[in-house]
Chain A
Amino acid sequence: AQSVAQPEDQVNVAEGNPLTVKCTYSVSGNPYLFWYVQYPNRGLQFLLKYITGDNLVKGSYGFEAEFNKSQTSFHLKKPSALVSDSALYFCAVRGYVTGNTPLVFGKGTRLSVIA
């Protein structure tokens, strides 16, 4: 079975500081990994994905994530946080690629960037 763990319910960071939102996963075979962001009363916006290739993936709004196979992790990072980055972040995984396979989401991590 596929699963995603986001160990932190809440992450607080000062504006301008680097941020990290943690994610670990469990899946059979090669993982397809994703990060999404959700603003209040809105759907999810796609940030980035890892399919294959370089372990460091760059995405939207200056975010990046590093795939670590040995640690089964896919932590989201940004070098310098903005107040506007405050939102709910979801990590998701798919264990194999077929059209029907849904994403499995973590519980979400609320990021609060303080000015």
Chain B
Amino acid sequence: GAVVSQHPSWVICKSGTSVKIECRSLDFQATTMFWYRQFPKQSLMLMATSNEGSKATYEQGVEKDKFLINHASLTLSTLTVTSAHPEDSSFYICSARGGRAEAFFGQGTRLTVV
């Protein structure tokens, strides 16, 4: 299957700082990328959908000024958590889709805000 690389795998940051998470499709062009958040023992919650070169579409209840998403190329999308707080601590997962029906997922990023 297609490969999606997400970096970093885990990050610890201080409250009030910003953290950037990268999602790359390594062997296909991702016309659409999705960002999810997963709480312990729960399913994936869709945060936003982004298309290359366009502004991301955020789900209801997700603060677009706090979770900045950029999809500047067909192989790279980034999620920046701005002014992070402990309640932002979570597991963030990106997903990318190109010409196939299925989406492929990154390895996830464990964010801990202290």
Residues of A in contact with B (beta carbons under 8 Å apart): 32, 34, 36, 41-46, 49, 51, 90, 94, 97, 99-100, 102-103, 105-108
The answer to whether the Cβ of B67 comes within 8 Å of any Cβ in the partner chain is no
Query: Which residues of chain B (40-57) have a CB below 8 Å from chain A?
Result: 42-44, 46, 49, 51, 57
Known: A100-B49, A107-B43. 7 other contacts (CB 8 A): A44-B93, A45-B105, A90-B43, A94-B101, A99-B32, A100-B57, A107-B42
**Which 9 interchain pairs have the tightest Cβ spacing?**
A43-B105, A44-B105, A43-B108, A107-B43, A99-B32, A43-B107, A105-B43, A43-B106, A99-B31
- Among A41, A100, A108, chain B packs the most CB atoms within 10 A around the CB of A100
The answer to whether the Cβ of B97 comes within 8 Å of any Cβ in the partner chain is yes
Residues of B in contact with A (beta carbons under 8 Å apart): 1, 4, 6, 31-32, 34, 42-44, 46, 49, 51, 57, 91, 93, 95, 97, 101-108, 110
Distance in angstroms from B52 CB to nearest chain A CB is 10
Minimum CB distance partner of B98 in chain A? A99
A97 touches B31 (CB 8 A): no
Distance in angstroms from B99 CB to nearest chain A CB is 9
B32 touches A100 (CB 8 A): yes
Distance in angstroms from B36 CB to nearest chain A CB is 9
Minimum CB distance partner of A32 in chain B? B101
Chain A residues with CB below 8 A from B103, complex form: 46, 103
